[in-house]
Amino acid sequence: MLKMKEYLKKFMDSHSGYAFDFYLAEWQTDFLRFFNSQTNYNITKTTLSLKATVEKDKKKYSFSLSNPSEKEVEEALKEGMALLPTLPADSDFAGFEDNKDLFSYPDMSSSLEKVPAEKKIEILTALSEMAGRYDFGIYGTFITLLIHGYKMNSTGLDKEVFVSPVMLDVKGVSRKNMVTVIHSYGGNDLAHFDLASFSGELEAKIKRATLDIVDVEPGEYTVILGPHAAGELLRYLMFASYAATVDRGSSYFKGKLNEKVFPDIFSVISDPLHPQLITVPYNEDGHIARRLPLVEKGVFKNFVVNHYYANKLKMEKNGSVGLAAMVLDKGTMSLEEMIKSIDRGLYISNIHYMNFINQQETSVTGLTRDGTFLIENGKITKVVNNLRYTEKLAEIFKHTEALENVQHPVPVSENYGNFEIFSSLIPHVKTSKFKITSSTRTI
């Protein structure tokens, strides 16, 4: 990789009439998938990847290569340079990121070494034995990842990128009727992972999943959103905080800066250095990542603005990584207190197949997944078949009545290609008037 880095720097220096932006990274993963409490496969893979952009006269050409040789890179760069005159100019382009601030890494050890396959299997064996007592199998992935690379461009940017997170995503599945529950962990390492606590929380979910299964009628319900469900709904909503959505005319928050849009208890920040989150050193441009309040006590405070849109929209660049490090502030109620406060409602663990109907209005439709439960007289009493909902995301959080006094790590990963892993900290959310449109009549 270092040899390729030097080659790219020399290429930039010898073609001063052009501007270049490179992200060169070595991507390594140890990807363990487990199926019905058995290891299904374990893949260790290493890839060198290059993302490149060449620019001249506000005309840009971008490409990506996997495991390239110097000859292949040179051919692709020269092809791009030859094509530039045929491409349309972007009048809003104002050069590549020029922030030179460097992230200081406190630790650059690999999670692949710190959490070997033997450690993963030890953890999964304990979880499998617990789940087996209830005739449940466990399914999912246990991933360790190492991304080490360099972000460089013609402004003189030269930054080392290093992340090495851990992600454990577990589904408990009933062998009797296929009812599922989900529990996850994500972090820089296992420093905040406690097996006894993780197993106990998963066991509590499995116990609920052994209850009888019922349908519920369409209508408006008071709902407790589990951390996975709340996190997914919140990510879809807060995508509207990106300046790109303002430019496209699809942002719910356009014209709402410094306006009260949610209850006082609702605060969201992007915090790439939070000790319980997976660290994000730089945004995609190479700007050092910054903590950014998005919503403070219900007031929308900031858009996520990168180098390009700072110039195009005349907004202040802030280096935020946005949804890659999202924290929803915790509240004052325990989950047990939240459940006891509901006479009749629903607990929704997770969301599946959610799609926008109208992005600017934040209207979506989707399905519940991995454990939907009926709450009656302050207790969880039944498993509910998966439900379809049609809602406006903004209304879900406007109707927030309480937030749990504990935040849970919720990791997010694509799990294919040269993927990355991010995480959020999300408490349980109690909200009212949640619109259920139909039952799937299936688990």
Both 235 and 320 in a single domain?
Answer: yes
Rounded to 10°, the helix 2-14/70-83 angle is 30
**pLDDT (tens digit, 9 = 90+) per residue, 248-298?**
999 999 999 999 999 999 999 999 999 999 999 999 999 999 999 999 999
Inter-residue contact 210 to 134 (CB < 8 Å): yes
Rounded Cα distance between 230 and 222, Å, is 14
Both 198 and 250 in a single domain?
Answer: no
pLDDT < 70 stretches in the chain: 415
Both 171 and 218 in a single domain?
Answer: no
Domain boundary among 166, 191, 208: 208
User: CATH number for the domain including 120?
Assistant: 3.30.2290.10
Both 296 and 185 in a single domain?
Answer: no
Both 166 and 59 in a single domain?
Answer: yes
Both 285 and 426 in a single domain?
Answer: yes
Give the number of other Cβ atoms within 10 Å of residue 39's Cβ.
Answer: 15
Both 203 and 217 in a single domain?
Answer: no
Q: Which helix (H) or strand (E) holds 41?
A: strand 38-56
Quote the pLDDT of residue 142.
Answer: 96
Domain that holds residue 335: 213-439
Both 71 and 189 in a single domain?
Answer: yes
Both 55 and 70 in a single domain?
Answer: yes
Quote the pLDDT of residue 37.
Answer: 87
**pLDDT (tens digit, 9 = 90+) per residue, 331-381?**
999 999 999 999 999 999 999 989 999 999 999 999 999 999 999 999 999
Question: How many domains does the chain divide into?
Answer: 2
Quote the pLDDT of residue 418.
Answer: 86
Both 382 and 402 in a single domain?
Answer: yes
Quote the pLDDT of residue 213.
Answer: 97
Q: Which helix (H) or strand (E) holds 129?
A: helix 117-132
Both 177 and 232 in a single domain?
Answer: no
Both 127 and 262 in a single domain?
Answer: no
